[in-house]
């Protein structure tokens, strides 16, 4: 029961961060909304959950999973959100720079992850590269 609370809390923060990122360029594109729905489904969340989270005006601190692969999944989702509308906006990069710092990742991971996703690499491939690079940073 307590595990589910923390998992829900992490996921809620993750959805809020994705929403904030999607809106950071001043326009919430339909592709970004559709990507958000895909992420929500992946975590077993309903559309109404997203609508409720989007209506909340409270700023919450970042809550990340402890397991590195789950934490990187959140990072991968964030970068995928940047790419969802096919426009990499300066405000989105600024948002990701702040998030990289909070994640404990070097800022060069932003462009590295963007280019990896754009070239069609899977989450597993990008995570494997990340894991190798992280051990050297």
The domain spans of the chain are 10-134
Q: Determine the 3-state secondary structure of 45 from DSSP.
A: coil
**Dist CA 124 CA 132 (whole Å):** 12
CA distances from 79 to 3, 56, 90, 102, 134 (A): 27, 23, 13, 15, 17
As a whole number, the mean pLDDT across the chain is 84
Interval 118-128 mean pLDDT:
94
Query: Per-residue pLDDT tens for 13-72?
Result: 888 889 888 888 888 899 999 999 999 888 888 888 888 877 776 666 667 888 899 999
CATH number of 10-134: 1.10.3680
CA distances from 2 to 5, 6, 69, 108 (A): 5, 6, 21, 36
Q: Residue 70, Cα to own-chain centre: how many angstroms?
A: 11
117 closest CA partner among 87, 85, 77: 77
């Amino acid at each position: 029961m307590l595990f589910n609370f923390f998992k829900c809390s992490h996921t809620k923060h993750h959805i809020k961060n994705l929403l904030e990122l999607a809106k950071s360029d001043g326009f919430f594109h339909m592709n970004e909304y559709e990507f958000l729905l895909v992420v929500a489904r992946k975590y077993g969340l309903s559309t109404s959950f997203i609508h409720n989270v989007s209506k909340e005006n409270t700023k919450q601190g970042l809550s990340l999973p402890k397991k590195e692969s789950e934490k990187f999944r959140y990072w991968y989702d964030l970068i995928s959100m940047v790419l969802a509308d096919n426009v990499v906006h300066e405000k989105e990069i600024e948002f990701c720079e702040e998030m990289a710092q909070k994640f404990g990742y070097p800022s060069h991971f932003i462009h590295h992850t963007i280019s990896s996703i754009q070239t069609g690499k899977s989450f597993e491939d990008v995570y494997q590269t990340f894991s190798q690079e992280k051990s050297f940073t």
